[in-house]
Amino acid sequence: MKDIPVDVGLIYEGERIRKSSMYVDLAGPKSKGAELLLVVPPEEVEDGRVEVVGPDVDQMEEGGRYPFGILIKVAGEKLEEDLEGVFERKLHYFCNYIQGFMHLNSRDIIWCRISKDAAKKGLKLEHVGKVLVNLYKSEFDVIEKIQVTFYTDEKAVDEHIARAREVYEKRDARASAIKDEDVDVFYSCLLCQSFAPTHVCAITPSRSGGCGAVTWFEGRAAVKVDPSGPIGEIPKGEVIDPVKGEYSGINEYVREKSNGTIERVYLHSLFDYPHTSCGCFEAIAFYIPEVDGIGIVHRDFHGVTPFGIPFSTMAGQVGGGVQSQGFLGISIAYLRSPKFLQGDGGWRRVVWMPAQLKERVRSAIPEEMYEKIATENEAQDLESLRSFLEQKQHPVLEGLKREEEKEAPEEEPAATMPELTVPVQATAAGAPVEFTITFKNARIYAEKVIIRRKE
Ligand code: SF4
Ligand code: ZN
Which contacts of 260-266 are long-range, i.e. CB under 8 A and separated by 24 or more positions? 261/198, 262/198, 262/200, 262/323, 265/202, 265/323, 266/241, 266/343
Residues 113 and 141 in one domain: yes
Any ligand 1 atom below 6 A from CB of 210 = yes
**pLDDT (mean) for 181-199:** 93
Pairing of strands 22-27, 64-66: parallel
Any ligand 1 atom below 6 A from CB of 213 = yes
| 434 Cα to the center of ligand 2, angstroms | 80
Last residue of a domain, one of 175, 202, 231: 175
pLDDT at site 173: 82
Per-residue pLDDT tens over the stretch 377-435: 999 999 999 999 999 999 999 887 777 777 655 544 455 555 656 565 655 555 666 66
Residues 47 and 112 in one domain: yes
| 389 Cα to the center of ligand 2, angstroms | 33
Band of pLDDT at residue 29, cut at 50, 70 and 90: confident
Per-residue pLDDT tens over the stretch 329-383: 999 999 999 999 999 999 999 999 999 999 989 999 999 999 999 999 999 999 9
pLDDT at site 405: 73
Question: How many Cβ atoms are within 10 Å of 84's Cβ, its own excluded?
Answer: 24
Residues 243 and 156 in one domain: no
| 423 Cα to the center of ligand 2, angstroms | 76
Residues 158 and 37 in one domain: yes
Residues 168 and 183 in one domain: no
Sign of CA dihedral 272, 273, 279, 283: negative
Residue-averaged pLDDT of the chain: 91
pLDDT at site 399: 80
Beta bridge partners of 435: 424
- 334 located within any domain: yes
pLDDT over 60 (residue 194): yes
- 48 located within any domain: yes
Determine contact, residues 82/187, Cβ cutoff 8 Å: no
Last residue of a domain, one of 129, 151, 175: 175
Name the closest-CA residue to atom 3, ligand 1: 192
Residues 77 and 112 in one domain: yes
User: Tell me, what amino acid is at 167?
Assistant: V
pLDDT over 60 (residue 167): yes
* CATH code of the domain in which 36 resides: 3.30.1650.10
Per-residue pLDDT tens over the stretch 116-137: 999 999 999 999 999 999 999 9
**pLDDT (mean) for 145-157:** 98
pLDDT over 90 (residue 276): yes
198 phi and psi, to 5 degrees?
-100, 10
CA distances from 109 to 27, 34, 65, 74, 306 (A): 8, 6, 15, 22, 23
Last residue of a domain, one of 152, 175, 198: 175
Residues 55 and 135 in one domain: yes
- 85 located within any domain: yes
- 448 located within any domain: no
pLDDT over 80 (residue 140): yes
Task: Using alpha carbons, select from 285, 284, 294, 282 the residue that is nearest to residue 385.
Answer: 294
**pLDDT (mean) for 78-87:** 92
Reduce the DSSP state of residue 378 to 3 states and report it.
Answer: coil
pLDDT over 80 (residue 441): no
Give the range of the structural domain holding residue 132, as residue numbers without chain letter.
Answer: 10-175
Q: Ligand 1 pocket check: which of 13, 189, 207, 267 to mutate, most ligand atoms within 8 Å of Cβ?
A: 189
Residues 268 and 119 in one domain: no
Residues 26 and 110 in one domain: yes
User: Tell me, what amino acid is at 368?
Assistant: E
Question: How many Cβ atoms are within 10 Å of 366's Cβ, its own excluded?
Answer: 11
pLDDT at site 34: 97
CA dist 387 and 397 (Å) reads 11
Atom index in ligand 1 nearest the CA of residue 230 equals 1
**pLDDT (mean) for 275-288:** 95
Q: How many domains does the chain have?
A: 2
- 356 located within any domain: no
> What is the pTM for the complete model shown?
0.76
Task: Using alpha carbons, select from 11, 143, 8 the residue that is nearest to residue 80.
Answer: 143
- Percent of the chain with pLDDT strictly greater than 90: 78
CA distances from 67 to 91, 126, 212 (A): 18, 16, 21
Determine contact, residues 59/97, Cβ cutoff 8 Å: no
User: Tell me, what amino acid is at 442?
Assistant: A
Length of the chain: 455
**CA torsion, ordered 267, 272, 276, 279, to nearest 10 deg:** 110
DSSP 3-state percent helix, strand, coil across the chain (nearest 5): 35, 25, 40
- 151 located within any domain: yes
Residues 239 and 329 in one domain: yes
* CATH code of the domain in which 251 resides: 3.40.970.20
Question: How many Cβ atoms are within 10 Å of 3's Cβ, its own excluded?
Answer: 7
Report residues near ion ligand 2: CB below 5 Å.
Answer: 192, 278, 280
CA dist 266 and 276 (Å) reads 10
Task: Using alpha carbons, select from 109, 8, 26 the residue that is nearest to residue 67.
Answer: 26
Higher-confidence position of 411 and 282: 282
Determine contact, residues 195/279, Cβ cutoff 8 Å: yes
pLDDT over 70 (residue 226): yes
CA dist 286 and 350 (Å) reads 10
Residues 165 and 99 in one domain: yes
Reduce the DSSP state of residue 7 to 3 states and report it.
Answer: coil
31 phi and psi, to 5 degrees?
-135, -150
- Percent of the chain with pLDDT strictly greater than 70: 89
pLDDT at site 412: 47
Residues 124 and 87 in one domain: yes
Any ligand 1 atom below 6 A from CB of 118 = no
CA dist 62 and 401 (Å) reads 57
Atom index in ligand 1 nearest the CA of residue 89 equals 6
Determine contact, residues 193/321, Cβ cutoff 8 Å: yes
- 41 located within any domain: yes
Per-residue pLDDT tens over the stretch 305-328: 999 999 999 999 898 999 999 999
Any ligand 1 atom below 6 A from CB of 209 = yes
- 31 located within any domain: yes
Any ligand 1 atom below 6 A from CB of 189 = yes
